[in-house]
Amino acid sequence: MLPVLVTAEEMRQMDHRTIEEMGIPGLLLMENAGLQVVSQAEKRFGNWRGKRVLVLCGGGNNGGDGMVVARHAAQRGAGVLVVLVADPAKVAGDALTNLRIVQKLELPLQVLRSIDELRNLWAGGWDIVVDALLGIGVTGEVRGLVGEVIRFFEGCAAPVVAVDVPSGIDADTGAVCGCAMRATLTVTFGAMKVGLAVYPGAEYAGEVVVADIGIPAAVVEQANIPRRLITREQVREWLPARPSDAHKGHFGHVLVVGGSVGLAGAPMMAAEAALRVGAGLCSVALPKSIYAAAASTLREAMVHPLPDAPEGCLSVESIDAMTPLLQRANVLAIGPGWSTHPPAREALRKLLAVARVPCVIDADALNCIAQEPDILPAEHPPLVLTPHPGEMARLMNTDTATVQTDRLQMARQAAQRFGAVVALKGARTVVATPEGRIWVNPTGNAGMATGGSGDVLTGAIAGLIAQGLDVQQGAAAGVYIHGLAGDLAAQELGMAGFIAGDIIRLLPQAMRCIQTLEGEAPAEPLKTGG
């Protein structure tokens, strides 16, 4: 299936088209869904035979899927108990058909009336819990007996297999609707749900497998879903070839502009990252007051001292002195170590007014724009903005909590407001375009929350754009490669101790894993099952 990210309503529409227009019965889709859960769980946890399995079913289609799971797990030798957390008289449609099958087969079935009954059942001990309570059907805070059941399983020692979406997770945003099941494995159907790809939903989902249940690929394609997961295969398609007769001029010239007193390392890390992802040349323009400290750190970059302001940052005079450098560069990386002093703000205004090539803007350059939005001219070259949540909050005149509540929507709004590709950094970085396309990155880990990591990303994106990728491709490929390098660093060193320099060092290995499939790359946490 295509690596799209769908909302609950988009998934319902695709189900509807599959059933009504393609003539594939909903009962068949439900059967396939249950079989996929059984198959994927067996791959993860081993043979069903002899296992004691508690299947929690709601009254809707998700519960119907769970009843199919119970039936096939029992056929494979599991000891199964179906717990229906709903009024049997209100079960309808395909779910009712499967409830009747369970009853006719005389599988153990208990209608749960109180949480005390669940406590008594749980005392017998279970090897696997199947969560088929709510799926994508959550609307608002989960209350009542279903909420009590979900809370009962907080800290559950047995592995939990979620059917489609962990109960209590908003399929559109990943938000926890008051309480949520924490799954070891989530088997989702037809397409990845947005709420499984972003946090906190991604944390509750555990390992996620996208299972094919018979929804035709044409139905997914015709839905024109604007959201995608960034995949290794996609990034490999985007990366440019390296001809045998190439020279350094073939692979572009990055100009990194930034630095200030106390922040000499930031532009140099961006420069090294640009070179490590394959840029042919990299120049660094920075204040003369930090030239000596910066130039000694990276022999491969051409470092140019510029007139600086008394505050030790760049000024309008700095930009005036950059004309020859601007003429040679085919992409600018602006902002690492920039400063927000007034002279730096005016320098940014002047630089963006004269820039004629794509620009990647990060760090204090973003904060300058947040302070004075008219710094960004109405007519500008292609831009990539790379804010972390705090910088995004300042750009959008809101708070960080609001940014994090719906990261996809916030990134989309920012992309449209600024007419730029926006890479909203953080767990599962979101890349949005002004046209409304969204990419979500599955790579990266908490160890990357370290000083300088953002500077590395800025350089990586600029280095890829220098080689011919457009700003959307460069941003999406850059965040994927950057995250994969971080995953390799965590694999090598553990998450607590690696630093931005380790990410830079492992950028070439990350690219090799993508381009040639050589070397050991950490597995993507989101997989497609058969």
Is residue 183 within a helix (H) or strand (E), and if so which, with residue range? none
The answer to whether domain 5-225 has CATH 3.40.50.10260 is yes
Domain edges within the chain: 5-225, 250-377+388-470+488-500
Task: Tally Cβ neighbours within 10 Å of residue 145.
Answer: 15
User: How would you classify residue 151: left for phi > 0, otherwise alpha for psi between -120 and 50, otherwise beta?
Assistant: alpha
Task: Give the span between the Cα atoms of 286 and 106, in whole angstroms.
Answer: 77
Asked if residue 179 lies in contact with residue 145, where contact means CB atoms within 8 angstroms, the answer is no
Please state whether beta strands 359-361 and 331-334 pair in parallel, antiparallel, or not at all (unpaired): parallel
> Strands of 207-211's sheet, edge to edge?
109-111, 79-84, 52-57, 128-132, 160-163, 185-189, 207-211, 526-529
Please give the single-letter amino acid code of residue 497: G
Cis upstream peptide for 243 (omega within 30°) = no
Task: Give the span between the Cα atoms of 362 and 383, in whole angstroms.
Answer: 11
Backbone angles phi, psi at 24, to 5 degrees: -90, 120
CATH of 250-377+388-470+488-500, one of 2.40.40.20, 3.40.1190.20, 3.90.1170.50, 3.40.190.150: 3.40.1190.20
| pLDDT tens, per residue, the chain with 530 residues | 569 999 999 999 999 999 999 999 999 999 999 999 999 999 999 999 999 999 999 999 999 999 999 999 999 999 999 999 999 999 999 999 999 999 999 999 999 999 999 999 998 789 999 999 999 988 789 999 999 999 999 989 999 999 999 999 999 999 999 999 999 999 999 999 999 999 999 999 999 999 999 999 999 999 999 999 999 999 999 999 888 888 888 899 999 999 999 999 999 999 999 999 999 999 999 999 999 999 999 999 999 999 999 999 999 999 999 999 999 999 999 999 999 999 999 999 999 999 999 999 999 999 999 999 999 999 999 999 999 999 999 999 999 999 999 999 999 999 999 999 999 999 999 999 999 999 999 999 999 999 999 999 999 999 999 999 999 999 999 999 999 999 999 999 999 999 999 999 999 999 999 987 655 566 666 666 55
Using alpha carbons, select from 383, 408, 389, 522 the residue that is nearest to residue 449. Answer: 389
Distances 83 to 118, 124, 162, 427 between C-alpha atoms, Å: 9, 14, 15, 35
Asked if residue 179 lies in contact with residue 147, where contact means CB atoms within 8 angstroms, the answer is yes
